[in-house]
Amino acid sequence: MKGDRVIEFHLDTRSGVAPYLQLIHQVRQALRLGLLREGDQLPTVKDVVARLAINPNTVLKAYRELEYEGLAAARPGVGTFVTRTLSDASLAAHGPLRQDLQRWLAKARRAGLDDDSIEALFLNTFRAAAAQDIA
Amino acid sequence: MTAVLEARGLGKKYGRRRALSDCTLVIPAGHVAGLVGPNGAGKTTLLHLAVGLLQPTSGTIAVLGGRPAESPALLGRVGFVAQETPVYAALSVADHLRLGAWLNPGWDNDGAERRIEQLSLDPSQRAGKLSGGQRAQLALTLAIAKRPELLILDEPVASLDPLARREFLQHLMEAVAEHGLSVVLSSHLVADLERVCDYLIVLAASRVQVTGEVEELLATHYRLTGARRDPASLPAGQQVVQASHTDRQGTLIVRSEGPIHDPAWTVEQISLEDLVLAYMSQAGEADRVRRSGLGVVR
Amino acid sequence: MIRLSWRQFRTQAAVACAVLAVIAVILAITGPHLVHLYDTTVAPCKTYGDCGLAQSVFVRSDGKLQSFLADFLLVVPALIGIFWGAPLIARELEAGTFRLAWTQSITRKRWLAAKLGVVGLASIAVAALLSLMVTWWSNPFDRVNADRFSPAMFGERGITPVGYAAFAFVLGVTAGVLIRRTLPAMAGTLAAFVGARVAMTIWVRPHLIAPVRTSLSFLSLGSKTGVGIGNTPSGLSMIVPETAIAPNAWIYTNQIIDTAGHAPTNRFLRAACPLAAGGPPPGSQTGGGSAGPHSSPSGAAAFHACIAKVAAQFRVVVTYQPAGRYWAFQACETAIFLALALILAGVCLWWIRHRLS
């Protein structure tokens, strides 16, 4: 079973984000990046708690949430498996978009922005765009 | 769900000193319950009452529906890891496993041996020569291999270094996931418990201050900051846990079942640690007032 | 639990076995030699007429071993109490391991019973074996000394060491349970055990069975070894050694009195026994200023005349425990210490169940 394990969870206790949410984010992230595909088995609850030293209920809750979202399904006695991918079409677009971003980053550096300023600018723009989308 | 531990008006005195007063508490099954409180708050007393090492001086306590240690059968259903994780210094690791097998009808010898191997402990090593972390792991292995329904641990990680602490909790959580046992563990540090506990009991000044599921506690406690005003002016249903203020500003930790809409306050979620500290300092305050006998004159 | 108790005890048990084995070997080598010595010197002494000399020489053989065994058997029960009893539970209380033991699937009653049973039986076995070996080895000496009720011998032969060992062991356990610390419990055990042994010997043992009071004719004793008249600083007095009255008996008092209850006066003795009054008699054996029947032919005649005169007026009144009661006393004292051990075990159980919680 160990060989089949595709992803490994980690936990940031200082982030303030509830641990079960962190697990869900990490699964979604792995799905988006194509690290997890349909049919892959998620780590068993025992594996996760043995690694992270967290309450098993936290993992169960995260997996239930993933099932509810239709991303995973539990096969009793076997484990929890991925039932859907999030990457499909969008994965192909990652390459060109990354190139665009790299070009943009180079431009920002030339304009004299340091790392913090770049991050702040990105986040501001991201949020503003999100707000416009809602409106 | 049934209760793994149920205390009603539980109290314990040593001579004239009260170690625990009027403790009423229900811990439902299926949880990893953290018992937090400052040193000397009565955590060890409560846990020793729960495993039958102590007898209450007042009130009652039931564990898995029975009086603690009332029969060998009930003793077999409750595992205990005492503070400082005592083991027999002269006996070897293998002897300890034998001891467990001799004294517990439900002993899981394969599980215990596998665990000792995973921990890469030498079975012929004398327990007195083990490091603190290894000793704690051995004590935990013994407690888990008797296959209890409820596992009670008294400050199991207090004396361990961070790595040993993490390894101990990993082992513990793995057993919880594998055997579905309920756990009650105490600590004077919230940080030890944050990851593992989904149920919390705050014990301070010999009394239970708050108890409940961690998620629910986090969802119902808020930090309010704003212009200073009388805490008594809060609407019903909002209970002040802790209040501090400067001349102008007031900061309140409040428990409220519903959301807080008052625009005069800046409302924030609080962390588990802040929540526990708020209850502890409140208890300390109340205790000081009680002891000085001044009452609520001010 | 029995297996665990044994596992915790087995090192001490091995040490005890080794010590017993060494002593057994030494006694097995020297014992037959002593029997041979007795058979060749003391047994035929009547034929040669040198019993006094033969006996006094014989009882000094293997002197160092004799005194070692006497001391050892005296202290073994105390050692058991101190090193097996006191730490048995005190160490668990000190190290906190009782919290491990009492939360396994076993009641404290069984836990205590197994511990007391395993180590208690071992204590009894050690004391019994040791006493058996010493009793066997010392038999030739004991026959010569004929003084089985003497405090030193009574407590170091037969079954009494078993009672002492059982009692000392449980006493140590109890001290450990009550004091909760090993070293103070060891000291307490020693003090209490010595106290109990002394109290038993001085105050209790003499009253276990009512003594026999009997009056003996002086003539019947006259021919026995050691009877005579002593020239003490306070004047003359009759000497009646205990062995002359009854070998191996326990004599409480022996008085020489007339029908009115008076002892012979100095004047009467001077008149009846002029030889003794005249100073040390010729050829006196003991040199202590006494007259015996075998001093010399003329002395013997005078002695017998003296005895006859005394016997006409006086009798020897003895309060004593006959030799036949030896085993009754042994059983009685052993039973008392075993009963005390049981009572203390009950105290331990009660304390562990109710006071240590």
DSSP states along C136-178: HHHHHHHHHH--TTSHHHHTTSTTHHHHHHHHHHHHHHHHHHH
**B297 pLDDT above the threshold of 50:** no
Q: What is the pLDDT of residue C288?
A: 38
Asked which of B147-156, B231-240, C10-19 is least confident by mean pLDDT, the reply is: B231-240
Q: Is residue B104 less than 8 Å (CB to CB) from chain C?
A: yes
Q: Mean pLDDT, to the nearest integer, of C317-324?
A: 89
Q: Return the number of other C-beta atoms located less than 10 Å from residue B241's C-beta.
A: 19
Instruction: State in Å, rounded, how far the first CA of chain A is from the last one.
Output: 48
Q: Six-digit token pair at A56?
A: 């098993």
Give the per-residue pLDDT at C279.
Answer: 47
What span, in angstroms and rounded, lies between the C-alpha atoms of B139 and B85? Answer: 6
Task: Provide the pLDDT confidence category of residue B293 given band limits of 50, 70 and 90.
Answer: low
The angle that helices C108-145 and C86-95 make with each other, rounded to 10 degrees, is 150
CA angle C208, C214, C219 (to 5 degrees): 140
**Which two three-digit tokens encode residue B233?**
């002016």
Write out chain B residues lying below 8 Å of C110, CB-based.
72
pLDDT at C55 over 60: yes
- Residue in chain B closest to C93 (alpha carbons) equals B86
Do the chains C and A touch each other, judged by at least 3 C-beta pairs below 8 angstroms?
Answer: no
Question: Which residues in chain C have their CB less than 8 angstroms from residue B76's CB?
Answer: 104-105
Query: What residue of B is the nearest CA neighbor of A18?
Result: B215
Contact between A19 and B32 using a beta-carbon 8 Å cutoff: no
At B71-124, the pLDDT tens digits run: 999 999 999 999 999 999 999 999 999 999 999 999 999 999 999 999 999 999
Which chain B residue's Cα is nearest to C6?
B99
Closest in B178, B198, B271 to A55, CB measured = B198
Q: Tell me, what's the pLDDT at C147?
A: 86
What's the one-letter identity of residue C2?
Answer: I
- The distance from CA C323 to its chain's CA centroid, rounded to whole angstroms, is 14
* Cβ–Cβ below 8 Å for B195 and A13: yes
- The residue among C246 and B271 whose pLDDT is bigger is B271
CB contact under 8 A, C104 and B146: yes
Tell me the per-residue pLDDT of A3-55, one tens digit each, with 9 for 90 and over.
Answer: 456 788 988 877 778 888 999 999 998 888 878 888 889 999 989 998 899 99
ipTM confidence score:
0.90
| Interface test with chain B among C5, C91, C98, C99, by most B beta carbons within 10 Å | C99
Say whether B177 and A51 touch across the interface (CB within 8 A): no
Mean pLDDT of A120-126: 86
Looking at the partner chain, which of A16, A53, A59 has a beta carbon nearest the beta carbon of B170?
Answer: A53
In 3D, which of B110, B111, B82 has the Cα closest to residue B175? B111
pLDDT digits (tens, 9 = 90+) for A58-116: 999 999 999 999 889 988 888 899 988 776 666 677 788 888 989 999 999 998 988 88
Contact status of B114 with chain A (Cβ, < 8 Å)? no
Token pair, residue B216, equals 């629910």
Task: Report pLDDT digits (tens) over C150-169.
Answer: 888 899 999 999 999 999 99
CB of B100 within 8 Å of a chain C CB? The answer is: yes
Of the candidates B173, B178, B215, which has its C-beta nearest A53's C-beta? B173
Judged against a pLDDT cut of 60, whether residue C309 lies above it is answered with yes
Task: Answer whether B198 touches A (CB < 8 Å).
Answer: yes
Q: List pLDDT tens digits, range C87-136.
A: 999 999 999 999 999 999 999 999 999 999 999 999 999 999 999 999 99
Q: How far is B138 from chain A (nearest CA, A)?
A: 17
- Judge whether A108 is closer than 8 Å to chain B, CB to CB: no
Nearest chain B residue to C110 by CA distance is B72
For residues C134 and C156, the answer to whether their CB atoms sit within 8 Å is: yes
By C-alpha distance, the chain A residue nearest B167 is A53
Going by pLDDT thresholds of 50, 70 and 90, the confidence category of residue C247 is confident
Q: Which residues of B touch A13 (CB under 8 A)?
A: 194-195
Whether chain A has a CB inside 8 Å of the CB on B163: the answer is: no
Residues on chain B touching A50 (C-beta within 8 angstroms): 170-171, 173-174, 177
Interval C191-246: pLDDT, tens: 999 999 999 999 999 999 999 988 887 777 656 666 677 776 666 677 777 667 77
- Residues C163, C335: contact at Cβ < 8 Å? yes
With CB atoms and an 8 Å threshold, state whether C100 touches B53: no
CA atoms within 13 A on the CB side of A132: 6
Chains touching chain C, criterion 3+ CB pairs below 8 Å: B
From A18, A46, A54, residue closest to B196, measured CB to CB: A54
**In the prediction, which pLDDT does A129 show?**
85
C-proximal residues of B, 172-231, CB under 8 Å: none
Distances A74 to A45, A67, A68, A70 between C-alpha atoms, Å: 12, 8, 11, 11
Distances (CA, A) of C92 to B54, C5, C89, C98, C180: 16, 12, 5, 5, 9
Give A110 to chain B, closest Cα distance, Å: 40
Confidence band, pLDDT 50/70/90 cuts, at residue B1: low
Under the banding of pLDDT at 50, 70 and 90, the label for residue B262 is: confident
Contact call for residues C239 and C218 (beta carbons, < 8 A): no
- State which residue of chain B sits closest to C111, comparing Cα positions: B103
Q: Does A132 touch chain B (CB under 8 A)?
A: no
Mean pLDDT of all residues in chain B? 89
- Binary contact (B176, A55; C-beta < 8 A): yes
Q: Choosing among B88, B97, B104, B153, which should be mutated to test the C contact, i.e. which has the most C CBs within 10 A?
A: B88
**pLDDT at C282 (0 to 100):** 40
Adjacent-strand bridge partners of B87? none
> In the predicted model, is pLDDT for residue C291 greater than 70?
no
* Residue burial A110-132, b: 16+ Cβ < 10 Å; e: rest: eeeeeeeeeeeeeeeeeeeeeee
pTM, whole model, 2 decimals? 0.85
Is the CB of B271 less than 8 angstroms away from the CB of A16?
yes
What is residue C294's predicted lDDT score, i.e. its pLDDT?
52
CB contact under 8 A, A56 and B171: no
Of C50 and C142, the one with more pLDDT: C142
pLDDT computed for residue B268 by the predictor: 86
Contacts of A10 in chain B (CB under 8 A): none
User: Given CB atoms, is B271 within the 8 Å cutoff of chain A?
Assistant: yes
Residue B188, phi then psi, degrees to nearest 5: -95, 0
pLDDT at C277 over 60: no
> Residue C280: its pLDDT value, please?
44
Alpha-carbon span B168 to B179, nearest angstrom: 17
Q: Which residue of B has its CA nearest to C354?
A: B55
CB < 8 Å to B139, chain C: 100
Nearest CA in chain B to C94: B86
